[in-house]
């Protein structure tokens, strides 16, 4: 009887540690639509707060920058925008580029979201697309047809973050990859010149 209990206990301990081992190998469990939606609910709540705060433009840009830093996968977006040259860039260049790029995004997309002043963005649904979650939202604009806004969410960076934002089907990631790629080409691949000019752009 004791032996049986002992072996049962051992078996349970064994199964338990095996499960723990499996979890450790895949620390990021599959992100659910519910979790992605929770994240975007917070993002949208913050954006609504900013666009209808009546703050000055520069104060709004600072708020948008915080939103990007808090909820977006900035390192991954930066690396993708930079493209293949990211591989040869130094760590400090990557960091400088990422910082300049984030405030550039905040200014550029802050201006676009400011056009939604007086409206409210609301999350309408979420679904799994391949290994990502796609969260749909709508901005009901004053005097204009509503705008569809889509957030692409992943937890593969280690935390739940959005890595792309699409307004009426136009992808931030895609357009910034094109934009940064062209900027880099015209500066003959000089990342430092790109970083300096990015501070003035947007």
Partner 1 sequence: MLLLTLKIRGPAIVAGVLLLAACSVPDTPTDVHDPYEPVNRVTHDVNTAIDTVALRPASQVYGHVVPQPVRTRFDNASRNLGLPAAMVNKILQGQLEEAGENGFRFLINSTIGLFGLFDPAQDFGLHENEVGFGDTLAVWGTSEGAYVVLPVFGPSTERDTAGLIVDIATNPIGTLFGSDAEDAQIGLTVTETLNYRFAFSETFDSILYDSEDSYEQLRLFYLDNRRFNLGQNTDNATSDLYEDLYDGLYEE
| Binding stretches for partner 1 (CB under 8 A) | 76, 79-80, 108, 111-112, 114-115, 129-132, 141-145, 148, 152, 154, 156-158, 163-164, 166, 168-171, 173-175, 177-179, 182-183, 186, 201-202
Token pair of 3 as six digits: 């032996």
Rounded least distance, CB 174 to partner 1, Å: 7
Nearer to partner 1, 5 or 25 (CB): 25
Token pair of 134 as six digits: 């796609």
Rounded least distance, CB 10 to partner 1, Å: 34
- Whether the CB-CB separation of 40 and 153 falls below 8 Å is answered with yes
Quote the Cα angle for 53-49-133, to 5°.
155
Rounded least distance, CB 45 to partner 1, Å: 23
What lies within 8 Å, CB to CB, of 20 at 6+ separation is: none
Rounded least distance, CB 154 to partner 1, Å: 6
Give the dihedral of Cα atoms 88, 93, 94, 100; nearest 10 deg. -140
Nearer to partner 1, 21 or 143 (CB): 143
Could you give the C-alpha distances from 33 to 39, 149, 153, 176, 180, in angstroms and in order? 10, 16, 9, 26, 31
Phi, psi (deg, nearest 5) at residue 124: -115, -20
Nearer to partner 1, 160 or 164 (CB): 164
Nearer to partner 1, 89 or 173 (CB): 173
Rounded least distance, CB 52 to partner 1, Å: 17
Rounded least distance, CB 182 to partner 1, Å: 5
How far is Cα 72 from Cα 132, in angstroms, rounded to an integer?
14
Nearer to partner 1, 1 or 88 (CB): 88
Residue 136: alpha-carbon gap to chain centroid: 14
Nearer to partner 1, 8 or 168 (CB): 168
């Amino acid at each position: 009887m004791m032996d049986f209990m002992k072996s049962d206990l051992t078996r349970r301990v064994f199964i338990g540690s095996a499960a723990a081992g499996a979890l450790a190998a895949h620390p990021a469990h599959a992100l659910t639509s519910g979790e992605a939606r929770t994240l975007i609910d917070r993002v949208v709540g913050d954006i609504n707060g900013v666009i209808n705060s009546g703050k000055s433009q520069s104060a709004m840009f600072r708020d948008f920058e915080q939103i990007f830093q808090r909820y977006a996968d900035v390192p991954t977006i930066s690396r993708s925008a930079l493209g293949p040259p990211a591989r040869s860039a130094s760590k400090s260049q990557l960091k400088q580029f990422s910082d300049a790029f984030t405030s550039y995004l905040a200014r550029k997309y802050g201006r676009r979201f400011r056009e939604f002043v007086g409206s409210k963005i609301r999350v309408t649904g979420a679904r799994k697309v391949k290994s990502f979650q796609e969260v749909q939202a709508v901005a009901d604009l004053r005097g204009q047809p509503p705008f569809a806004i889509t957030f692409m969410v992943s937890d593969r960076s280690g935390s739940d973050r959005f890595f792309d934002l699409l307004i009426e089907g136009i992808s931030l990631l895609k357009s910034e990859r094109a934009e940064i790629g062209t900027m880099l080409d015209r500066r003959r691949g000089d990342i430092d010149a790109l970083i300096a000019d990015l501070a003035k752009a947007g």
